[in-house]
Amino acid sequence: MSTEVRQMFSSIATRYDVTNEVLSFGIHRLWRRTAVKLSGAKEGSQVLDCATGTGDLALSFKRKVGSTGRVVGTDFCPEMLESAPAKAAKAGLDVEFQVQDAMALTLPDNSFDVASISFGIRNVDDPVKCLQEMARVVRPGGRVVVLEFGQPTGPYGALFRFYSKTVMPAIGGLLTGNRAAYQYLPRTAAAFPAGDRFLSLMDQAGAYSERAAHPLLFGTAYVYVGTVR
C-alpha cells in the first residue's frame, strides 16, 4: 500500500492545501489547534510531526514551543514536503523537514517530548508498528498524539457519509485532477478503526501507560492521546 499511497499524494501535492481548505471548510485549522493543546507541548518542547505533508501541524507546534523548542516534520512523500520549508519561512518559523517513513524512523530513542500524526496513520501499512515507532522516539511520560477521521452516526453521520462519498470526490477531482485520490481518502477513513477501536490499537502497541480519545464535531474526527511508558 505504501507505494500506491506515495504515488497518490505525489500527484495531488501541489493542490493539496487549497483542496483541503475547500473540502474541510477550514475546520481542520481548529482540529489542529485542539491536537496541539491536548499534546501538552509547551515553550521549549521537542516535537516530531509524522506524515506532516505540507507542514501545517508542524507549524502550529512551532508557534507553541517557541524559539527555544524544536519541531521536526517528516513525511515519506518528498513531493508533499516540497512546499513546507517555504511555508515555514514565510511564517517566520524555524522547522526542520525530513523525508522519513513513520514506521521506520531514523531518529534516536527518547529524543522528543511529543510525537504527532494527523490524518496519516490510516495510510501506513501497519498502524500498530507506527504507534510503537512514534512512542520509541518519545521520552517516558511524553505524549503521542493522533488526529484522524472517525465515523459519526445518526442524521449527521448520514449527511457526512453522503458528503464524503459524493461531494468530496467530485470537488477533489475537479481541483486536483485526481478523482480517485478523493475516493480513496474517504473510503479509508470510513474503514479505519475509530474511537474505542483505535484505543485497542494503542493497547496492542504496548507502549502507553494511558490513552484517551477526544471526539471532534460529533465524531467526525478524533484526537487520540497516549502517554508513553
Residues 130 and 168: their CA atoms lie apart, in Å, by 27
- On whether residue 161 sits in a domain, the answer given is no
- On whether residue 118 sits in a domain, the answer given is yes
Report whether 2 belongs to an annotated binding site. Answer: no
pLDDT over 90 at 177, yes or no? yes
Residues 200 and 209: their CA atoms lie apart, in Å, by 13
pLDDT tens per residue across span 81-92: 999 999 999 999
What is the domain range of residue 36?
A: 1-5+24-146+192-226
Q: Mean pLDDT, the chain, as a whole number? A: 96
Report whether 118 belongs to an annotated binding site. Answer: yes
Helix axes 168-176, 2-12, angle to 10 degrees: 70
Task: Please name the residues in contact with 55: beta carbons below 8 A apart, sequence gap of 6 or more.
Answer: 49, 73, 81, 83, 84, 85, 87, 88, 95, 97
Lowest mean pLDDT among 23-27, 203-207, 208-212: 23-27
Q: What is the pLDDT of residue 1?
A: 61
- On whether residue 47 sits in a domain, the answer given is yes
CATH number for the domain spanning 76: value is 3.40.50.150
- On whether residue 131 sits in a domain, the answer given is yes
Report whether 54 belongs to an annotated binding site. Answer: yes
- On whether residue 169 sits in a domain, the answer given is no
Mean pLDDT to the nearest integer, 92-107 = 97
- On whether residue 49 sits in a domain, the answer given is yes
Which residues of 174-220 form beta strands (DSSP E)?
A: 208-216
Three-class SS of 100-142: CCCCCCCCCCCCEEEEEEECCHHHCCCHHHHHHHHHHCEEEEE
- Amino acid identity, position 84: A
Q: How many domains does the chain have?
A: 1
- On whether residue 163 sits in a domain, the answer given is no
- On whether residue 164 sits in a domain, the answer given is no
